[in-house]
Amino acid sequence: MISVKEYTPEFFEQLLEFCKYQKDDSKPSNNMWSEDWEKDSSTLLYILNTNERFSNDRGMFHLLYDDENIIGCGGVYISDFSPRVAIAGVRTWVDKKYRNLQYIKNYILVENKNWAVKRYVDVIALSFNYYNKNLIKLFTKGMKLGTRTENHIFHNNFNMLEFPVMIRNTPQWVIYENLSDYRFDWESIKIKN
C-alpha cells in the first residue's frame, strides 16, 4: 500500500539506506548519495541533518512508502526570496521501478501543496536545474490531458517562466501555480546577462 509520511529523525537510518541504494551514474543521483555525505553539502542527507530548510514551519520533507519500504521522497519549503512563495518538489526522487506510476504527482506533490495551502502561501513553484529542465514537458503534457484534480499542483492554473531565475545560488527554470490573487515579481530574481 502506498503512503506518505512526514520525515523526522527517527526515519534517518531507513532514508540513508534508501539514498545509498539510489546511487547510479546519473548527475541527479549525486544529490542523493555520497560516501562523504556528512561533508557534501549537495546531498539530501547533509541538508536534512545540518540545515533548517525542511524543519519547523519553514518546510517539510515527505517520504513515500510502499508498505514499509521507502520508495521516494520530496520536500517543500518557504523560499528565501519571498515568504509568499513555496518551492515544492525539492530533492524529489522515486526509485526506478516506480517512476512511471505518477507517484510524484499523486502523492509527493499533493502533500507538498497541502503543506503550502495550510500556511496560506500565495504561490507554489517547482524549479528545475539545467540537467532536469526537460521534466517541465511532463507537466505541460499533463495539463493538456486534463489529468489533474483539485488536490493536484497546477489544478487552478499553470504558469511557466520564459527565463531562468536564481534560487539558492543556482540557475533554475520555474513553473508555478498562483494560489491567490497575489502575483510575485519573478523578474526580481531573474538572472541578469
pTM beyond 0.85, yes or no? yes
How far apart, in whole angstroms, are the C-alpha atoms of residue 96 and residue 22?
8
Domains (range + CATH), the chain = 2-184 (3.40.630.30)
How far apart, in whole angstroms, are the C-alpha atoms of residue 167 and residue 185?
14
**Are 131 and 112 contacting, i.e. CB atoms less than 8 angstroms apart?**
no
Q: Which residues contact 162 (CB under 8 A, 6 or more apart)?
A: none
**Are 37 and 50 contacting, i.e. CB atoms less than 8 angstroms apart?**
no
Would you write out the chain's pLDDT as a tens digit for each of its 193 residues? 999 999 999 999 999 999 998 877 676 777 888 889 999 998 999 999 888 899 888 999 999 999 999 999 999 999 999 999 999 999 999 999 999 899 999 999 999 999 999 999 999 999 999 888 998 988 877 655 556 778 888 888 899 999 999 999 999 999 999 999 999 999 999 998 7
